[in-house]
A and B are shown apart, each in its own frame.
Chain A
Amino acid sequence: MRRRVGWAIALMVLLATSRISAMRLAAQDPISEVLMGRSGTTLPLCGIVLLFRFTEIVILPVVLAMVLVSTWPSRRPP
């Protein structure tokens, strides 16, 4: 039970961090920053946002689905 709560908290932190970093990026103008030669902080933030986006949309659903299958009760022979 404690392990599941831990995973749930980790998941929520991941989603919250993803949202916050996307909101920070949206408040900037990545194209403008790169063109003006101020890409120092923006490009890494773009990378982080995309990494979170892929994790959230592609990797996480697959991992969750596989974890769910692994928790199915197995049928044992009588």
Chain B
Amino acid sequence: LVRRRLAQAVIGLIALFLVPRWVAGAGAAAYFDGDLATQDALARTVITGIDAQEGPTAYRTGNPRFDGQSTIAIHQMALLGLGQIVLEHPEKRDAYLPAMRAAADHLTAKFEYGDNAYAGRSADEGHAYLGYSNLGLSMLRMIDPDNRHAALNDRISADFERGIDASPYGMIETYPGETWPPDVSAVIGSIGLHALATNRDRSAFLERWASRFEPCAVDKRTGLLVQRVRSGGCQAEDAPRGSGTAIAAYFLSFATPELAKKLYGALEHVDVAGFGGIREYPFGTTGGGDVNAGPIVFGVSVGATGFALGAARTQRDEATFRALYRSTSLFGVPTSVGGRTAFAMGGFLGNSLLLAMLTARPCDSQGPRSQGSRRP
């Protein structure tokens, strides 16, 4: 009886270690390898959400800043995700282009969002939040060079370049009195993607920017990106954080691959029986969750883990991608609905984010417009 109980315990432990990681990891290889059917099943869920949006914002909570931010995040990530699939599988261009154009229309709609920077405000006055919109517009430019937002994309990119070049630290404010280095990374990512889309060489500008930004915004001890600095200087106003570093590592894959690689290398991984996560705060420090990090459990944040999925794919780090995907799958609950795949816990926002992250293109495959961007 004792031997039988011992055998049960051993087999139970083996099953606990092997089966969950195998079941939750199903699908990771298909996403990592860029399997079209797998990517397309998730893309169609996001397209359904874009088509279903009524009104200028995706959510109407009564908080204009949150409603604006979430609408920009949803459509920016949708554009990035759909565009990345088209760049990898050009045959999907005609199927995805209407949804991409609709997402860009939603991005540039006149919704109440503090002051509306599209209404004639110059982006070099700050407004780094426009970097997120401009990333989406630059991706649309890669796929559809003559789209109706091309002039706006040019103007925002040029304004950003002027503003960034004028700053001794390569930073502009997101909102008055608020400077967030991860948002500046979105700005730089959008300039890099715009340069790729328009076949312009911006390498000198991007190298100049990295040489000023890195000493100011990257924490020397951990290598992580400081989440917030004092406007006009380098004094940290928040800790170095995993969520900001992971999203910056993804955004900068479009512009400064070397800095993107450094930031990715600084992320602090946690692995429990094959389920991976990224710590929000460096080992030895703690802090609370917020809208960027999401919930934090045992030091691991949902935001950092989700964004690191994209960063892992840009760095071709399959082992980390698989481990992070297992956790995403366990808690996100991928579900097949009418031939589409949706992460049941994610909603429109979560599925758009995951589409962009799961289809992120490796740094070494970023390049000028390819055949996926043929003109109609």
A27 touches which of B15, B16, B337 (Cβ 8 Å): B337
Contact at B59–A35, with CB atoms within 8 Å? Answer: yes
A74 with B345: CB separation less than 8 A? no
Q: How large is the interface on B (under 10, 10 to 19, 20 to 34, 35 or more residues)?
A: 20 to 34
Q: Which chain A residue has the least Cβ–Cβ distance from B14?
A: A65
Q: How many contacts A-B (CB < 8 Å)?
A: 90
Q: Using Cβ atoms and an 8 Å threshold, which residues of chain A touch B337?
A: 23, 26-27
B19 is an interface residue with CB less than 8 A from chain A: yes
Which A residues are CB-close (under 8 A) to B12? 62, 65-66
Given known contacts A31-B349, A61-B15, A65-B11, A25 and B61 CB-to-CB distance under 8 angstroms: no
Q: Does B297 contact A (CB under 8 A)?
A: no
B20 x A36 contact (CB < 8 A): no
Assuming the A-B contacts A46-B345, A50-B331, are A35 and B4 also in contact, with contact meaning beta carbons closer than 8 angstroms in the complex?
Answer: no
> Are A68 and B61 in contact, with the CB atoms below 8 A?
no
Instruction: Please measure, in the bound complex, the distance between the C-alpha atom of A18 and the C-alpha atom of B14, giving whole angstroms.
Output: 24
Please, how many angstroms separate the alpha-carbon atoms of A68 and B61 in the complex? 52
Closest Cβ neighbor of B350 among chain A residues: A31
Q: Which of A19, A49, A62, A72 counts the most chain B CB atoms within 10 A? A: A62
Q: How far is the CA of A13 from the CA of B90 in the complex (A)?
A: 42
Q: Knowing A26-B342, A65-B15 are in contact, say whether A36-B60 is a contact too (CB < 8 A).
A: yes
**CA A23 to CA B334, docked complex, whole Å:** 9
In the bound complex, residues from chain A placing their C-beta under 8 Å from that of B16 are 58, 61-62
Which residues of B are found within 8 Å of A26, using beta-carbon distances?
333, 335, 337, 342-344
Q: How near does chain B come to A2, taking the closest CB pair, in angstroms? A: 24
Partner of A69, one of B7, B333, B348: B7
CB-CB < 8 A to B11: which residues of A? 65-66, 68-69
18 contacts between A and B (CB under 8 A): A22-B335, A22-B344, A23-B344, A25-B335, A26-B335, A30-B345, A30-B346, A31-B59, A31-B349, A31-B350, A32-B347, A35-B66, A49-B344, A50-B331, A56-B23, A58-B16, A66-B11, A72-B7
A-to-B contact residues, CB < 8 Å: 19, 22-23, 25-32, 35-36, 46, 49-50, 53-54, 56-58, 61-62, 64-66, 68-70, 72, 74
